Structure 1
Amino acid sequence: MYQPREHFQSGKRFGLEFGGTVLSFDRVGDVLRRQWPVIAAAVGASLALVIVYLVSAKPMYTANARIMMDTRQTQVLDKENGTNSALIDPGFVDSQVEIINSDDLILSIVRRLRLTADPEFDGSNPGLLSAVTGRVMGLFGRGEPPSQERLERAVVESIQGNLRVERLLTTYVLSLSYRAHSPDKAAKIANAIADAYLVGALEAKYQSTKRATEWLQQRSVELSEQATASDRAVQAFKAEHNIVGTSRGLMSEQQLSDLNTQLVQARGATAEAKARLDRIGAISDQDVAQSTVTDALNNPVITRLRAQYLDLAAQYADWSRRYGRTHLAAVNLANKMDELRKNIADEVHRIGDAYRSDYEIAKSREASLETSMKELVAQAGNKGQAEVKLRDLESAADTYRNLYNNFLEKLQSATQNQSFPLSDARLISTATKPDRKSSPRSVLALVGGLVGGLCLGLGTAFAREFLNDVLRTPAEAEDELGVKCLGVLPDIRPAETKRRGLLGASAKGSVPGVSRYVVDHPFSRFAETLRNVKVSIDVARMTRETKVIGIVSSLPKEGKTTVAANFAQLIAMTGHRTILIDGDLHTRSLTRELSPETNSGLVEALNDPTAFGHHVQRSKETGLDFLPSVVASRMVNSADLIASKAMADLLAVLREQYEYIIIDLAPVMPVADSKAFSVLIDAMVYVIEWGSTTRAAVQESVSGSEVLQKKLIGSVLNRADPKMLGRIEAYKGKHRNSYYVEQA
């Protein structure tokens, strides 16, 4: 019977759990007592290294200079652009850091200060570590004296290693720090680097401005020639195509506009003459003595004749009334009136002839203008393509002229700025001689060595204690569970798993997979270990009824479903009536693996236990009956359902028809299904994942249920690494696996 460990019985003992390992004060004390030599050795070694470093290391002194990026200095002559408050791009400041650390700038310092002859850099006075390193490198070197270039490169690398340039927070200030064995030398080199940077910035600005000026001069000459050539091309094209320009545009366009205006006016005059002619024709057939004719014509002759006619008409009317119309005087008056009427008609005809003449003249002028317009339009159409080409030439000429003017202006500006002696940076803090060493810091180094040694020692001690917290041997499994370990199952998972239902048909009549490994590999170590499990169960059947066998594990993904499927098939292949039940109502992994297309199963069988056969799937190859679990979603009462009276009734019916009832149960730690079902089961096989399941997980799983402890018949270590397993079992000899055939 399993005996739980002390820290599960003693609920009042304080402890912390890390990855399934309980770490209490007592256990920490035990670790410290057992591993104190390791901790002491680590601390001693760390302090010894620190002391050796402090004794051998030369003191270093750090000098600091500060440079500020300030573009306002370059804006002294540029007051009109209003950019005094312009911000500097942070990337520009970061770029200056790289410039200060550049090889060329440091090399100029090395040559100016002649540092290759300095004892600190030429290797004539090395430290302990440098001396040892130099001797070792000398053993593998060619023994030839280094060249001047190599010496300078070595000094540059040494200065770069001791130089630190960084930007102060988000400001435009660069902090330049240099470390040296001498405080005077540290300040001297720091100031030299700062001065070299400022001078180099001025020189770079001068050279860039000079190159820009030279390029602008060359480009200005080219643009001047191009602008002149473009202007000449425009004039030559105009002369070739007889295109004359005026202040209002091209002459042809001006003529066309004027002619169009004259044509409009001529058409108006023609319409007016035609209206007068039509009017005179309309009144020619009327009585010319009427007032409407006189008023319409507004002619002084006709007006005078009509006045005479009216006077005679009045006299004629008076004398006719007095003397009668046949009277000689009345007849004379009538004759005079006819004469006047005839004169008026003649005058009207004369006016009509004048109007007709004016109309003909207006028509002739209009026709002449229309002819001229058509000729100009035809000429304009013929010159259309020439004008398009002219516009292109004029546009090119204007472009070259504008470019030339812009480049000429930039050339003048660059020429003025070429000798302007200001840069974008200035020195705001000169490096001074440091009064104390910056390294090594003895106290800080000793404290760091002590803390580092303690951390290393404690880490090593606890690693040696807890890295072996997983189970890898049958003895360890038996020590934790208190029951027999029935064997170690090797890892049979392929590199690429292809899941297909075992009970479904396939093209070749079989479906390869880990769930039917014992069918395809009946003489493998995996199958033989499961036979050992069956033998242990058969031995237990001699003393008690052992038909209902549960396969459980502490945590998910430990391989219990694979073990249950293969174990059931192994028993079925021996000819025993065997049924496999998917009792994990949460994940239903066994159902998805063996019969993914089924529509009913365990839950439906619980409603009518006597009709369970309608929900059973049988394998034609092995004769195994499988009762799947089909639920639409996870059940909140799965523990109650798996341990219900209906389940007990179903098991009672199954006991009468089957010799072995194998149930794949849910893992013990996540859910309570296995603990609730333990009262209905005869025996349990506990699956432990080799090298993964921790002792704490096993202890916590089994100690929570006394019934489960009693029903444990044994355990198996699953998914063991074959290579590691071979190392662990090397004591069994080289022929230990001669009876196993892993490939079918």
Structure 2
Amino acid sequence: MTMVENVRSGLLVGAAPREGQEDGERTREPWFLDPREILRTVRLRWFTVLLPVLLCLGLAAAWMHLNPPLYTASTQILIDPRGLQVVKDGLTPPDQASDASLLFVDSQLRVLTSDDVLGRVVDRFDLARDPEFQGRFTLVGAARDLVARITGRTEPPVEPRLTALRILRDRVGARRLERSFVLELGVTSDDREKAARLAGGIAETYLARDAATRSETTRKAGAAIESRLAELRADLRKAEDKAQAFRAKHNLVGTRTQLVSEQQLTQLSEQLGAARARALEAGSRMRQVEGVLTGGRFDSANEIVTNPTITALRGQLAGVERLRADAEETLGKRHPSYMAALVQEKALRAAIEAEIRRIAAASRNDFEAAQASAKVLATTLERRKADALKVGDDFVQLRELERQADASRAVYEAFLVRARELQEQQRLDTSASRIISAASPPEKRIGPPTPVLFVAALVAGSGLGLVGALALELLAGRVRSRRRLEGHLGRSGLDALPRAPRTAAKAAALKADFGSARGDLPYEVAVSRLRHRLAAAEPGAKPLVVLVTAGDDRAGKSVLARSLALSAAADRERVILVDADPKGLLTRDLGAAAPRDLAGLLRSRAPLGDALVTLPSGLRVLPRPAGLPRDLAGNLADALLRSDADLVVVDLGLVGGDVVTERLIAEERIPMLLLAVSARRSRFSAVDRALKAIGPGRRPRVVVTDADLRE
């Protein structure tokens, strides 16, 4: 404990209160939002801040050690849902709807990462013997195995191939790129080259497996169709035999589409029509020829006009008529030439008439023959119609049997053609899927780089440490600084003193003569300024009685009390330092008892001079008696107010510690009350209890005893 005795009155610089009106109230932000208070907390609790940083860095280093770098290689596969239509009728339809195509691609995504494909990759690359795909040693796994052995729940060893398949399944990821039919496959491994090989191997295995699946599906479909061919062939033969037997039984002769009777009916109908047409034509010719015989025009019958005999006769007749005409004109009608020509003319006319009659007779014969033929054909047709009506029902049943045979034949032929097509198709790869981006060894590892990881660990540790330090500081509830105390109390301009020097030499000197050592200059200046502010607050008070108490800092308030007394003594003022603390720190440091019993002196209302101890510096001290009755607290106040000193400093006990302290605090004649608060040791809860115990009727001056004046 340091006492300041010598301080010049002019050394008052640096002890002024903070900005703002003294004891004024203002709203302050929480101290943990002040950067200066955060730095103060970091300085005070540097280990709390440093420990999370070290732990995070250690965890980062352990993670880097236990988790080797991983690399992901990716490849892209185009899934074309249309396929290649090598043959006219493919096994799968070439055109599909958009939604169905997307569902098809999503289904292929599941096939790509299925155990069927991955299992073949495990066998292809012999991953069952790869240490990477057999699991790594971890502390968690070792602890789990240990607990299992202790509890007796050990499981049988897993097959290496299944372990490799499970790890590969966890290392493989696939997704469909947005708005496309492209699948992106990624494989993670701790080896760049291995990751690329596995990605390419999975893609190739998938494509090969897809082609094999298509071929196998085609083969199975062809085999299923061929297995039906024999049965369909037997059904066709049975249907044809049944139709043929029915035809033979009912004597239904004809083509596959028409019976002979039907053909005959058709022919007879056609022949009857032709015969009737010939009869009509013959009748017409006959009537024309007979009309010529009855005096009709010679050229009205085509048969006569076109007859060569008649044509020749008519030519001869024309020549004879010319000769007759010439003979009549030149020779006369009696001339023999005329008469010979007339005879020839008559003979020719008779020959022509005879030929016409012959033609008429022939026409009549043709007409009668045509009528007879038409009658015969009509009779035959009627008879055939009657026969056709009899076989109509049988023919209907025959048609049904033939239709069944035709249907069986069509199915059989379709199956036969399809079986041959599938036999050829299974040798063709109709898939249009292909690798459009081959896997290559990746350049960068997965996750952040090592420097970034350690920087993140440093930042995270610093943040945790800072938050932890602030949390501990909040839980501790210590004052720490004048700024925090002002924010807590809602006051500004609190009085503050720097930390008093506490070297071993000064402590020894203090114990020897109670204050002969000189303190540091900043502390002396601050104490002197505080003393003058107290005097200015109570002008004309003679003596000026100052009560010094605290909520929990007993040593700090005692140092404040004697520092005020020594500062005044150094300025040649008459000062009395009263030790009213039940612990008697000042009396213990003095090492001497009062020359007179204080209780008796107070009862007799005698002056305090007989009970004072004078130090070499001129400071007078009233030691704490062995026992001061409670009822004498008022007498002690009277004695202090009647003393001849300029300044009386009373070192009280802690607030709420004893009755004498409470009586003196409640003494209205002593207005000056100092509440000492240690920035390092005091807690806000103790300050609040002290202020509550003092009461709202009396407002003490709060003095921070070991503050940082640079705030």
TM-score range, shorter chain: 0.3 to 0.5
- Determine which structure has more spread, i.e. the larger CA radius of gyration: 2
- The alignment's TM-score, normalised by the length of structure 2, stands at 0.41
